[in-house]
Structure 1
Amino acid sequence: MLHGRAGEQAEIERLLAAARTGQSGTLVIRGPAGIGKSALLNHAAGSAAGMRVLRGVGIESEATLPFAALHHLLRAGLDRIPALPDVQASALKGALGLGDTAPESRFLVGLATLSLLSELAGDGVLLCLIDDAQWLDRASMDALVFAARRLEVEGIVMIFAARAGFQAAGLPELRLGGLDSAAAAALLPADLPPQVRDRLIEESDGNPLALIELPAALSAEQRAGRLSPVGAMPVADRVQEAFQAQIAELPESARTALLIAAADGSGELGTLVGAGASLHGLEAAERSRLIEVRGTTIGFRHPLIRAAAYQSAPVTRRLAVHRALAGALTGSTLIDAADRRAWHLAAAALGPDEDVARELEEAAERARTRGGHAAVAAAYERAAELSADPVRRSSRLANAALAASDAGLMGRAAALADSATPDANDPDLLTALIQVRAHREFELGTPLAAGRIIMDGVPRVAANSAEQATWLLVEAIRCAWFAGDVRLAEEAAVSLRELPAVSSPLVSGALGLTRLLTGDTGGGITLMSEAVEMSAVTGLGVPGRTFTAMLCFPLGRAARGEEIAEGIVADCRKSGMIGWLAFALENQGLAHGWLCRYGEARAALDAGLRLATDLGHEHRIAHLTCSLAWVLAHQGAAQECRAKAEEGVARAGNQGLVLAAAIGRWALGLLELGLGRAEAALQQLAAIPPTGIATISAADQVEAAIRSGRPERATEPLARYLDWARHVRQPSSDAVALRCRALVEGDEAHFAHALRRHDDAQPYEKARTQLAYGEWLRRARRRADAREQLRAALETFDRLGSELWAERARVELRATGDVPAAPRRAGDPLSVLTPQERQVVRLAADGASNRDIAAQLFLSPRTVGYHLYKAFPKLGVSSRAQLADIARPSSAPD
């Protein structure tokens, strides 16, 4: 029976009840040691009648072993791995040491975990209980949290119990405090004097474990109330001290067995006995209720008992036990025996030891084959500490830094990189260290600081490898582009030109960006155009193609950007390159938005934003948020657009992301323009600094200036846009340039010419021109001609779902004496769906199975089925076969 936890028990039972109806749920129970987290997990298990229950636990000594906790949780369901999609099955088997292929991404393992849990749930309910989650190895934690964030309608409940240190942002939390006086009193022995009971309740701060364990540690005088029952120290320390006192009363064989078990962590009986633990000693410890024996596995009743057993032993005995455990694991057939042996040898080392350092290196490389990058970092870092040779030490620190970066531990990666001071001028090593430091600044600091780190390191790299220096300088220019910093771009470009030429579209693209930043629009466009041609892009990897896709937007070539981005998205999903997928989805979403497929744009950007949030990529979150606001501005979703834009601009401002902030301000300017608030629009658009966005958005700034009665403020942005349009030579940009001239000069010929230049690629811009022309004609009292233009504009705006602009066209039509039709969106049959439903339906319409769709969208198959179940009645269909005609992308722009 649990005392004082009725509310917490009710919350758990609510989750279980929802799971029985198919709804998944997660909960993180947080609190200090002994507060009752494990008891609530036991309550959940006891309330799970008819459910399948999986239990896992984080073990402090296993935190350096990749996927140890995940293997422990899933071990009863490993036979179902073959049912997963091939790439997921391969990733999970590789992570768990059951296959030879390392997973491409630690988050692909998370997706495979989600799929396996869904498979194990079947048509029933699955309960996953993970205790001591703060001690999960990093690889297991990433996989489990990734899966937990994506639970929807699988009938799965995941409950984590954790102290501080468990990172699970976005998951619901339940924080446990101490018990109230009545509940606390119920846990104390009835024979204690009232004053002792009161003092124990007060000193324990309502901690249940303290209330249970401390009375047993009281002396006769304390129980009688003649001495203070407890001392002034933290509750956990007092409880641990009580356990230490209990351990001290045990016979030597039991104390030795407990120390060996505490130092080992695995609880594998054969290993413990091999290291010197006697069965008699283990039996004595079990009788004292300090450990529990389940088959051939030994477990401590509470983590504080493990800590008490280990910390109460003299250091010499601890060192001896680690050596004994290493000996017991020599030749063992356990899957992780060699890794455990290496770590026990490291724990027993008293100083530099090259033999042990080499074993840790081997453990690191084994962890790499399983995708356990955090474990790789830990092993290389400890190997560096045991290295006497400074060159080997720096090499190992560099490897640790790279692995920490791959694990997403950017702060730790940068610290390790700073600690590595290579005595040898190895260009690969130097480049890797620079990239780690720069990557950390790029994601957690500012792109400008990242660029400066690169520039400071380039001379040393260039002295040994011109090619490595070239790629670093390309990255520095990319940082300058995101930061909107002309000086950094020029400095990197000068250095790039001084190096031997490397024939690559990335080099020409970077030099083109620099010219664009410095005002040489024609030179920049020429160089960037070369970089995005099919022949140039072919053969580039995902990072390189991502760079070229980004170049398409300042070139006004959205269709080419969409083509490149869609290939990257497909490759990332196929290979599990989830980190790059968020970037690719942003480029894809922007391209869809530029081409007026707003529903598809929102779906891609929503998916990218969700992914970037899971990955903790703050830089990408800011960009995706601002890009989503820009799409919403076209649709006229005023409240949502303003919220996203203001959030994104604030994030971008804090991180020095000038490019992202520019997109956010463009979104706000477009929104204000659509609302008819020209002065506010001009204020936002004029605040965009000199970047590529300032050039592309200049047309809206021209319109805002004219409509606000400030024609003098249209001169500079008009010249800027005309110069850009003249060089990119795209039909839509030519047409918009003519529209701007018509607004400024009041020349009808420019309106007519603009309409002839518009093509069907950007119907939104054509409708904007028709609206502006219709307004001009109405003011010229040519109502019949005005109606023709305004009706065409209204039809397009309605079809696209651009509600604010459609309303402006209606107002103008009414002013001509016409009665416009009610709003309609017949051109977008999927407009009734949520962004995620839209993605699912599109893939289902192409013939993908639920399992294939789940793999591509990082969902479970059951969630995909649920979205289709919700979408069918909205679309008025009853089978997948009917989706193809409705969801075909070519039916209309959306």
Structure 2
Amino acid sequence: MPVVLHGRAEEQAQIDRLVDGAREGRSGALVFRGPAGIGKSVLLEYAALRATGMRVVRGVGIESEAALPFAALHLLLRTGLDRIHALPDAQVRALGAALGLRDAPPQSRFLVGLATLSLLSELAGDGGLLCLMDDVQWCDEASVDALVFAARRLGAEGIAMIFAARPDLPVTGLPEHCLAGLDDTAAAALLPADLPPQVRERLVQESAGNPLALIELPAALTPEQRAGRLSPVGAMPVAERIQEAFLAQMAALPEAARTALLVAAAESSGELATLVAAGAPLDGLEAAERSRLIGINGTAVGFRHPLIRAAAYQSASVSRRLAVHRALADALISSTSPDAADRRIWHLAAAALGPDEGVARQLEEAAGRARTRGGHAAVAAAYQRAAELTVDPVRRSARLAAAALAASDAGLTDRAAALAASATPDVDDPAMIVALTQVRAHREVELGTPLAAGRIILDAALRVAARDPEQATWLLVEAVRCAWFAGDAPLAGQAATALHELPATGSPLVGQAVGLARLLAGDLAGGLPLTGGALDPSGLAGLGVPGLTFAAGAALATGRAALCEELTERVVADCRRSGMIGWLAFALQDQGFAQGMQGRYGEARATLDEGLRLATDLGHEHRVIHLTCCLAWILAHQEDVAGCRARAEDGVRRADDRKLVLAATLGRWALGRLELGRGNSDAALEQLERIPPTGFGALAAADLVEAAVRSGRPERAGEPLERYVTWARHVRQPASDAVALRCRALVEQDEAHFLAAVRAHDGDDQPYEQARTRLAYGEWLRRARRRADARTQLRAALEVFDRLGAESWARRARTELRATGDVPAAPRRAGDPLSVLTAQEREVVRLAAAGASNRDIAAQLFLSPRTVGYHLYKAFPKLGITSRAQLAALAGVAAAERRRPPARAGGVRADVPGGRYWV
């Protein structure tokens, strides 16, 4: 081994740092990428040798098992499954079902990933854990999802995870190191010393520095070639050259050994009894082992290198391969292995020469078993192969549709779309049309093109409306949602018109959808009553996660932040309980924004950060962009200038590229509000005037009014003022009433509107807006030389801005106070005792204060219990506490601060009308 490690000092140092960190309680992950034979497996061996005193678990991807869900994960965890019952019950069920240890309904792949993280944390104990996974490119998709999910969430568990994979493995979000060939000096050191110089030079050149080639190619040379009589050869990939060397070794073996190698290559489980039952001679296996092509460990047979397996299988004739698969299928009939039935049907499928309905039905059964284990990629593979063996076009399309849905659930969007497209010509059944539509639309939404998704959905809804109006209704509501994200009024209008033509379902979602369509068309007076009227809490009680998520978005559009948060809290709880992670990211997006609208920026940031991590894991580009812009909007209030601008500019650029109008609106609103708070009114006006006036843009119109007035262009405030006043008149929320009055006061410079605005803010849920109103009124009073009255308003505004951490606005209030002759107090940040924590620490502390255990918190936040403990360990000194018991009191202070109404300012005139402020 030390010889093979010539020229890998950098890689060894990386491994040393990872392993040493795990011993000290720090976790980390690393992916080694490189072509076959480049030395990835040897580096894993080096890591295992370095892990003295630590527990080591190892797994390997096997190409022929890529269709078996969680096969690679089972191989990795099999020696530690005795600790599975230390996990929370939901995780025990999820991981047990995934690994075939118990019968259970399908589980979320992310819940399986969390259970994997928790089990690895248990196995780490106090001495650390090294987790090695080789040939990840041949692991089944479900196993890769679970392992990468765990690796991305490593913290303070003491776990080192090292993956080895080919260059094209689609895994992102983990540190990587690409292995190149050895330099000439290191390469020459691996060659036999007795080779002539010209042969050594030729081998170094032909191997391209590939260590395995440097070791295997000399062994394949004839005596004449070793003596230096080499003929010119054409350039070939190194892997192919290595495979040729293995083939040369196999050609020298007796027939029994070649037969044994073929059987072992076709049945990758390595079960000695199964191989022998299928015709692998024991003496042939022994001969292959003596040639170092395979290894036999007890009753398990394994190839020394994956290319040996490939060479053994691909060099055999088609007739021999078919015969071996049939023999293996027969041998597995008597096997007691839990996955024997699935392996048997796959061998039968591999042996099929043409359509075979019997085998296709058995593949459907295998798909059903895979679904109960959450192996969506395996479900897709089984249905796809079943379709290939099906003659009847309708049945074939049904199986392709099932494969497409499973591939979509597995996140294989391109493959899902290809399967759906191949099924479409034969499809006429409404249920199948809906299923295929979901696949195609889901792909478009993930790619960040909801407009294309909406058109696909609308077309399908019109096709199924006559035969299944209820399904058509839900599709049309979904089309409106897509149009809302894309800011496309024509699409929303078509969907709304089609909804009117369908029989009534009584669902509040229909009214919300039609209302949102009218808002996109600029009809505030027609859209807001419909949308708001369909948000009665009693009418929403029976909705599931998708419906509640739609209603939460409608609540935001009508300025009802508290209702949005209430609805999304229900959705988040349901998603965490059921593992609906895709919907969870969606719900966290709206929940975080609603928290921000209510001035709880620390909570909002933590919520949105979690949503962004999940959306990134899912690969949902649209959701990532939207969450990025939402985060920018929060940071604008906290005056994180660099963070806000970076996120907003990146989010807006990507949103504009994909015509994600709603996301771009949020990003531009964030930039406008940032500049407005900093006193850069011209820059704010430039950003805010680029926001479309329809849809969600109505909410930003108030900032546009203020930017126009403060920049000395009051003539540009007229239209946005009327727009916002119309919006506020119909949503009838205290905060929007007050902001509308503030806008009138700024444009008309009328104190009566300022006074009415201050009164209207009493009892609303948006302290930030109240503080802005008092600041604007205080500035007006100071300019009117009424300094004493101005101080009252400015002090009230400053107190709120300080409490919220809105530093730029607080700085403006201080400047105004000084201009009145007052000496403002220093910033008071103690109003939010949790403000000293990071976003992750804040979430952990919040849940711990509510009485949740470390395991409960870990399950909710997709962390390991050890990482939760580490966050609490870091948070306690920051908060000035020493025990968990003190958290509840501290969190109570924070909650009281959130609920405490802002200080009331004196001087509100009793003669100001309190009813209609709009005329």
Give the TM-score band, short-chain normalised.
over 0.9
Unaligned runs of 5+ in 1: none
Conserved 8 A contact 1:800-1:893: no
Amino acid of the residue matched to residue 837 of structure 2? L
Tell whether 2:877 aligns with 1:873: yes
2:819 pairs with 1:815: yes
1:353 counterpart (352, 356, 361): 356
Give the deviation of 1:102 after TM superposition. Answer: 2.9
In 2, Cα distance between the equivalents of 1:715 and 1:855?
Answer: 51
4+ runs of 1 displaced by more than 4 Å?
none
Partner of 1:37: 40
Contact kept, 8 Å, 1:508 with 1:531, in 2: the verdict is yes
Paired residue for 2:29? Answer: 26
User: Are the counterparts in 2 of residues 395 and 422 from structure 1 also a CA contact under 8 Å?
Assistant: no
- Given candidates 343, 346, 349, the residue that maps to 2:346 is 343
Instruction: Report the secondary structure of 1:366's partner residue.
Output: helix
Residue type matched to 2:64 in 1?
S
Distance in 2 between residues matched to 1:129 and 1:532, nearest whole Å? 52
The one-letter amino acid of 1:198's match is: E
Q: Residue 545 of structure 1: SS of its match in structure 2?
A: helix
Does the alignment pair 1:635 with 2:646?
no
Aligned equivalents of 1:488, 1:229: Cα separation in 2: 65
For the pair 1:63 / 2:80, whether they are aligned, the reply is: no
- Matched-pair contact (CA < 8 Å) for 1:203–1:230: no
1:135 partnered with 2:132: no
Residue 257 of structure 1 corresponds to 260
Structure 1 match to 2:441: 438
How far the C-alpha of 1:655 sits from its partner, in A, is 2.1
Out of 533, 538, 543, which is 2:536 matched to?
533
SS in 1 for 2:823: coil
- Deviation per CA, 1:510-550: give whole Å up to 9, x if none: 11111111222233222222332221111211111111111
Say which of 490, 504, 508 aligns to 1:505: 508
What residue number does 2:898 align with? 893
Whether 1:205 aligns to 2:188 is no
Q: Deviations over 1:767-787 (max 9, x none)?
A: 101111111111111122112
Query: SS at 2:334's partner residue?
Result: coil
The answer to whether structure 1 residue 494 and structure 2 residue 491 are counterparts is no
Q: Which amino acid aligns with 2:896?
A: S
Kindly provide the amino acid, as one letter, of the partner of residue 886 in structure 1: L
CA distance in 1, matches of 2:81, 2:230: 56
Given that 1:19 and 1:157 are in contact with CA atoms closer than 8 Å, whether structure 2 keeps it comes out as yes
Q: Which residue of 2 aligns with 1:569?
A: 572
Q: Given the alignment of the two structures, is residue 799 of structure 1 paired with residue 803 of structure 2, yes or no?
A: yes
* AA at the equivalent of 2:611: G
Q: Which residue of 1 aligns with 2:381?
A: 378
User: Deviation at 1:809?
Assistant: 0.8
Q: Secondary structure at the match of 1:17?
A: helix
Cα deviations across residues 654-698 of structure 1 (Å, max 9, x unaligned)?
Answer: 222110110010000000101111111011111011333210110
Alignment of 1:117-516 (within 5 A): 117-228=120-231, 231-421=234-424, 423=426, 425-516=428-519
> Is the counterpart of residue 606 in structure 1 residue 609 in structure 2?
yes
Mapped to 2, the partners of 1:837 and 1:103 lie a distance apart of 32
Could you say which residue in structure 1 is the equivalent of 2:711? 708
Q: Residue deviations 1:798-849, cap 9 Å, x none?
A: 1110001011111111222222222121210000000000000001101111
Q: TM-score, normalised by structure 2?
A: 0.96
Preserved contact between residue 659 and residue 691 of structure 1 (Cα < 8 Å) = no
Partners of 1:31 and 1:176 within 8 A in 2: yes
For the 8 Å contact 2:522–2:694, the answer to whether it is kept is no
Partner of residue 559, structure 1: 562
The separation in 1 between residues aligned to 2:167 and 2:348, in whole angstroms, is 29
Kept in 2, the 8 Å contact 1:505–1:532? The answer is yes
- Which aligned pairs between 1:69-84 and structure 2 lie closer than 5 A? 69-84=72-87
User: Which residue of the other structure, out of 596, 604, 611, is the alignment partner of 2:599?
Assistant: 596
SS in 1 for 2:424: coil
Matched, 1:787 2:791: yes
- Say whether the 8 Å CA contact 2:387–2:399 is kept in structure 1: yes
Q: Distance in 1 between matches of 2:534 and 2:160?
A: 49
Residues 730-763 of structure 1: CA deviation (Å, up to 9, x unaligned): 1110010000000000001111111011034111
Is the Cα contact below 8 Å between 2:745 and 2:754 reproduced in 1? yes
2-structure distance, mates of 1:102, 1:189: 57
Does residue 684 of structure 2 align to residue 676 of structure 1?
no
Matched, 1:831 2:835: yes
Q: 1:660 aligns with which of 663, 667, 673?
A: 663
Q: Which moved more, 1:373-382 or 1:653-662?
A: 653-662
Residue in 1 that maps onto 2:903: none
Deviations 1:536-589 (A, max 9, x none): 111211111111111111111111111111111111112222111111111110
Q: CA deviation at 1:424?
A: 5.6
Q: Tell me which of 748, 752, 776 is aligned to 2:751.
A: 748
1:231 offset after TM fit, Å? 4.4
Task: Report the residue type matching 1:376 in the other structure.
Answer: V
| Residue 859 (structure 2) aligned to one of 855, 859, 862 | 855
**CA deviation string 1:421-440 (max 9, x = no partner):** 36463211111111111111
**How many equivalent residue pairs?**
894
- Matched position secondary structure for 1:892: helix
Whether the 8 Å contact between 1:95 and 1:102 is mirrored in structure 2 is no
Q: Deviations over 1:87-124 (max 9, x none)?
A: 11111111111121134311110001001111111222
* Deviation, structure 1 residue 458: 2.3
- Residue 398 of structure 2 contacts residue 423 of structure 2 at CA under 8 Å; is this kept in 1? yes
SS where residue 55 of structure 1 aligns? strand
Identity score, percent: 74
| Residue 648 of structure 1: how far off its partner (Å) | 1.2
Task: Determine the C-alpha separation between the residues in 2 that align with 1:727 and 1:823.
Answer: 38
CA contact (8 A) 2:397 2:427 kept: no
Runs of 5+ in structure 2 lacking a partner?
Answer: 900-919
Contact residue 37 and residue 239 of structure 2 kept, 8 A? yes
Give distance in 1, aligned partners of 2:836 and 2:418: 50
Contact conserved, 2:448 with 2:620, CA < 8 A, in 1? no
TM-score (norm 1): 0.99
Q: Deviations over 1:603-632 (max 9, x none)?
A: 100111111111111111011110111111
For 1:232, what is the secondary structure of its paired residue?
coil
Relative to structure 2, which stretch is displaced further, 218-227 or 390-399? Answer: 218-227
Are the equivalent residues in 2 in contact too, given 1:706–1:714 (CA < 8 A)?
yes
Indicate if the aligned counterparts of 2:62 and 2:138 stay in contact, CA closer than 8 A.
yes
RMSD of equivalent CA atoms: 1.1
CA separation in 2, counterparts of 1:709 and 1:282? 89
Distance (whole Å) between structure 2 residues aligned to residue 507 and residue 195 of structure 1: 80
Displacement of 1:230 in angstroms is 5.4
Could you tell me which amino acid in structure 1 is paired with residue 806 of structure 2? S
Which digits, 9 at most, give the CA deviation of each residue in 1:826-878, with x for residues without a partner? 21000000000000000110111111111110000000000000000000000
State how far apart, in whole Å, the 2-side matches of 1:86 and 1:524 are. 46
Q: CA deviation at 1:456?
A: 2.1
In the aligned structure 1, how far is the partner of 2:620 from the partner of 2:547? 19
Q: One-letter code of the match for 1:391? A: V
Return the alpha-carbon distance in structure 1 between the equivalents of residues 619 and 761 of structure 2: 41
Contact preservation (8 Å) 1:87, 1:575? no
In the alignment, is the contact (CA less than 8 A) between 1:92 and 1:103 conserved in 2? no
Equivalent position amino acid for 1:850 in 2: N
Distance 2:184 2:815 in 1: 68
2:533 and 2:740 mapped to 1: Cα distance?
24
2:34–2:180 CA contact under 8 A, matched in 1: yes
277-286 or 689-698, which deviates more:
689-698
Residue 291 of structure 1 aligns with an amino acid whose one-letter code is I
Contact 1:96/1:370 (<8 A) preserved = yes
**1:199 and 1:229 in contact (8 A); partners too:** no
